[in-house]
Structure 1
């Protein structure tokens, strides 16, 4: 691919146009095609041939009807039109000139001490996976995949998942998406036995969920939904009920911000997808997310029942193996989710003790998550009439979220700040609002 220059390659001047940049950022490829024909003279028939799209489909898209949502097709379009990966949120493509890795810190540089400095350092070193993280360099694989290859990729996914502990989705999205794209390519271009193919599809489903989570965390809602849907299909095709259930749980988590009833229905389906033989951590996670969907929908008794089911599942965890993607689900996490649910239901007498107990065990290095969870503690304090305490919690959360590439803490804290605005005559609130003003 690197030595081939497609006839549809767009000149830099066209790619630099503001209307083209806006269309690419929005994945509005109909507008991209229209601008390519108008300003670069690239015909729709050439676009169709290079992108493997039916000519009539290209014309339909250019007229503003329909959209391109699958990542495989987005990659094909980016390759055919030579669209730099950064403009459409993809990992670097083979034909792109490799960028120079960031220079390592000078030997005399002051040791990185604060959480924000550490996040900035990690962010700089994850532009390419090999830089700063030699242990997670992608393993070389031949044209014939063996039984060990899915295991190697799953272990790699587990190591990469640790980046989510300290970086937001705005920083990790392209890393995780690149993993998903590369496994998609391996499935398409390699040969393998049926069992290996199913195992690779299961890995693909796991990678799609991680990329979808980063997209959601970074504010790419449409991309997240598409990845979750693709994950569900891959998991179903692989016969992996646990990952299929988790894909539905992710879709539910995203849906509750819009259609709350739909979120509850999807969450219920996710729990029904896995059976009692599923690992206890998986069942606990799915019931937690069902509890959250019920809380957002205002269903108090259903919330309490789902939380009880999650606790029962978690209490049953013994020596059985658990998938790495549920490793973070423990008693502390359940305490925090319990507090979040009761805060959402405006039950501060239940919310505050649970959140305070859980957050006392939560290190500040997990800045994004702790800032997010503190927002519900601040909400609960407000519901209890403890305005000054709410303001103090928000101040801590704002300090933690500084520099985190995630939209979620900022959105949540903005909501709490608006509530605090009703008490702007309280000195602590006056100071906080002044400090947080843009």
Structure 2
């Protein structure tokens, strides 16, 4: 018969109850069904629908008049009641891994289908283009201020929710600014517009990087470099190269990451405007690259340089707006992550813990990233309970942010739990995970 009921997750307290664990191990379904009824409120009639059994058969099992021995029936019970496979001596069931943790190709398809028609109440794109021709004038200084304010708002929203839904607006504004560049006659305004366009291109590249669409990210980062080069903004070019270096570490291209980090540092040395904060950030990018290469000595040297530069940061420094994110908590957490990449969990754990205590709570994605790094280091140190607790606390923030990169960190922690999945605390984490990221 078809299973018309929708399976629901059993509460973590039931899956970790010693009596439930023992009953599942013995395949004592009389006890299993009674516990499911008592602790999860799933009555025999619902058990029958969920597990594709007849109500009379379920009643006989509960009364101890019948045993369930056939493997296909046991599999239906596992799937219908969402009992993890290993508890019943089965292989891991497909539903145990949330769809969000399955690795999928994120690059966009090369060929795109026809665009969906616009709602009838909106003008078509050709009308928009005609109206734009009649409304454009030489931009005023206030235009630059409005655009810069928009960029700051975009970054705040990206930190809180991810860039997936933000990207169309950013790309549209980028193209608008490029159009203004063709019409501006003021030399000072053109320089400002080039700077805004470079920032918008970098932000677009960042949203693609965060979505693990690496080819698109590289294209926009390259466009950002070209725009910044038009006005010889060397510090900003270094910033873009630092982004590309970080992306290379995610693509397991450690040698490329180091080359890009070194190029970023060269760019700052070639021009004016570098500050201790910028130099500290770039040294930390170099540390990440060395850590990805497994070079302990060079990683420690780059970390020391990052801290040395940061000691000279002053309130009156002419730091560019894009550099202020690199504050002391960020320096500390990145130091911890660099040690974590080297496998030095004992050094990494207290650093990441201290940084998370001090960092802003509004950056949901950043806090979730750092929490998963902390959980990984705690797991490496054998602190299973703490690791699962840390990761569980991060799940709410992770679920509120559209970030494939964040999902990748969650996936890495989830895979590290493989050898502990029969432990009650790991079972509780996985149950919570399936609630937050349902298949």
The Cα RMSD (Å) is 2.8
1:33-82 superposed Cα distances (whole Å, 9 cap, x missing partner) = xx7xxxxxxxxxxxxxxxxxxxxxxxxxxxxxxxxxxxxxxxxxxxxx76
State the partner residue of 2:35. Answer: none
In structure 2, relative to structure 1, the CA distance for the partners of 1:330 and 1:84 (3 Å cut) is farther
Determine the structure 2 residue equivalent to 1:284.
Answer: 280
Separation in 2 of the partners of 1:150 and 1:230? Answer: 20
Quick one: distance in 2 between partners of 1:325 and 1:312?
Answer: 21
Aligned-partner Cα distance in 1 for 2:282–2:196: 19
Q: What is aligned with 2:48?
A: none
Residue matched to 1:256: 249
Residues 179, 386 of structure 1: alpha-carbon distance in 2 compared, 3 angstrom cutoff: same
Match of 2:168 in 1: 174
Report if the CA contact (8 A) 1:198-1:239 is conserved: no
SS in 1 for 2:318: coil
- Alpha carbons of 1:428 and 1:93: their partners in 2 closer, same or farther (altered >3 Å)? farther
Partner of 1:349 in structure 2?
Answer: 346
**Alignment partner, residue 207 of structure 1:** 200
SS in 2 for 1:274: helix
TM-score (norm 2): 0.66
Q: Compared with structure 1, are the counterparts of its residues 374 and 82 closer, same or farther at alpha carbon in structure 2 (3 Å cutoff)?
A: closer
Question: Which has the higher relative contact order, 1 or 2, with Cα contacts under 8 A spaced 6 or more apart?
Answer: 2
* Match for residue 396 of structure 1 among 393, 396, 408: 393
In structure 1, what is the Cα distance between the partners aligned to 2:347 and 2:124? 53
Instruction: Write the mapping of 1:101-250 to structure 2, written as runs, cut at 5 A.
Output: 142-146=136-140, 149-188=143-182, 190-250=183-243
How far does residue 181 in structure 1 lie from its aligned partner after superposition?
1.6
- Are the aligned partners of 2:154 and 2:166 in contact in 1 as well (CA < 8 Å)? no
Deviation at 1:426, TM superposition (A): 2.1
Deviates more, 1:395-404 or 1:150-159: 150-159
Distance 1:346 1:84, change over 3 A: farther
Instruction: Tell me: CA distance 1:146–1:251, structure 2 relative to 1, closer, same or farther (3 Å).
Output: same
Q: Match of 2:289? A: 293
Q: How far off is 1:148 after superposition?
A: 5.7
Q: Deviations over 1:342-397 (max 9, x none)?
A: 11111011101100000111344322111111111111112111122111111111
Cα deviation, residue 294, structure 1: 1.8
Closer, same or farther: CA 187–351 of 1 in aligned 2, 3 Å: same
- In the TM superposition, residue 166 of structure 1 has moved relative to its aligned partner by 1.3
Q: Which residue of 2 aligns with 1:40?
A: none
Larger radius of gyration: 2
Distance in 2 of aligned mates of 1:280 and 1:248: 17
| C-alpha distance 196-97 of structure 1, shift in aligned 2 (>3 A) | closer
1:364–1:400 CA contact under 8 A, matched in 2:
no
Q: What displacement does 1:151 show? A: 4.6
Unaligned runs of 5+ in 2: 1-106, 129-133
Which whole-Å CA distance do the structure 2 matches of 1:180 and 1:301 have between them?
42
Q: Deviations over 1:130-172 (max 9, x none)?
A: xxxxxxxxxx985223556445433432233222231212132
| Count of aligned pairs between the two proteins | 318
The answer (yes or no) to whether the contact 2:161–2:400 under 8 Å persists in 1 is no
CA distance in 2: counterparts of 1:360 and 1:436, whole angstroms: 24
Please give the per-residue CA displacement for 1:63-109, whole angstroms capped at 9, x wherever unaligned: xxxxxxxxxxxxxxxxxx766699xxxxx9972899xxxxxxxxxxx
Distance in 2 (CA, whole Å) between partners of 1:145 and 1:226 is 27
Is 1:95 aligned to residue 163 of structure 2? no
CA deviation vs aligned residue, 1:188-213 (integer Å, no higher than 9, x gap): 3x132334323321221111111211
CA distance 1:238–1:151, shift in 2 (3 Å): farther
Alignment check: 8 A CA contact 1:270 1:286 kept = yes
- How big is the shift at 1:176? 2.1
Q: 1:434 to 1:160 in 2, by over 3 A?
A: closer
CA contact (8 A) 2:337 2:348 kept: yes
**C-alpha distance in 2 between matches for 1:93 and 1:338:** 52
Query: Is the contact between residue 145 and residue 192 of structure 1 (CA under 8 Å) also seen in structure 2?
Result: no
Query: Does the 8 Å contact 1:343/1:380 carry over to 2?
Result: yes
Indicate the SS of the match to 2:164. helix
Q: 1:433 aligns with which of 425, 430, 433?
A: 430
- Given that 1:166 and 1:367 are in contact with CA atoms closer than 8 Å, whether structure 2 keeps it comes out as yes
**1:169–1:216 CA contact under 8 A, matched in 2:** no
**Is structure 2 residue 313 aligned with structure 1 residue 317?**
yes
